[in-house]
Copies of this chain bind each other. A is one copy, B any other.
Amino acid sequence: MAEQNQELRKAGLKITLPRVKILQILEASEGGSQHLSAEDVYRALLAAGEDVGLATVYRVLTQFENAGLVTRHHFETGHSVFELAKGEHHDHMVCVASGDVVEFTDPVIEKRQHEIAEEHGYELMDHSLVLYVRKKEG
């Protein structure tokens, strides 16, 4: 349970119960590769018997995002989802039927993105790639 505290300290944030708990929830979700909404995190806190306000969840997630601990995605759902920022960058594949999220990276695509930005006189700062897919039969 000490590692989380290190991460928080490194980000210049005080070690508080809501922050530690939220970090734990995000880490716990890593296995299932869930991408959690603020609401999801909030419900997980309530389910764990923690009395944390939704406003605090938003504040903490935003702080985590600024600190680089967490990445915010918008997909096409009208609300944000958050995931723990692992070291390496990756893109997403979302199943339109089940909502499953698969992460991937592809060097060919990464390289072309840089080239395309250059060709248009721009420098690539960041990008967002989401494939909407459906599981194949048999």
Contact = CB atoms under 8 A, between A and B. Distances in A.
Task: Please give the count of copies of this chain that the complex contains.
Answer: 2
Interface of A: 74-76, 78, 93, 95-96, 102, 104, 106, 108-109, 112-113, 116-117, 120-136
Contacts of A127: 129-132
Contact of A112 (B75, B78, B109): B109
Contacts of A121: 135-136
- Main DSSP-derived SS at the A contact region: strand
A111 to B, nearest CB: 9
Contact of A102 (B74, B120, B132): B120
A48 to B, nearest CB: 29
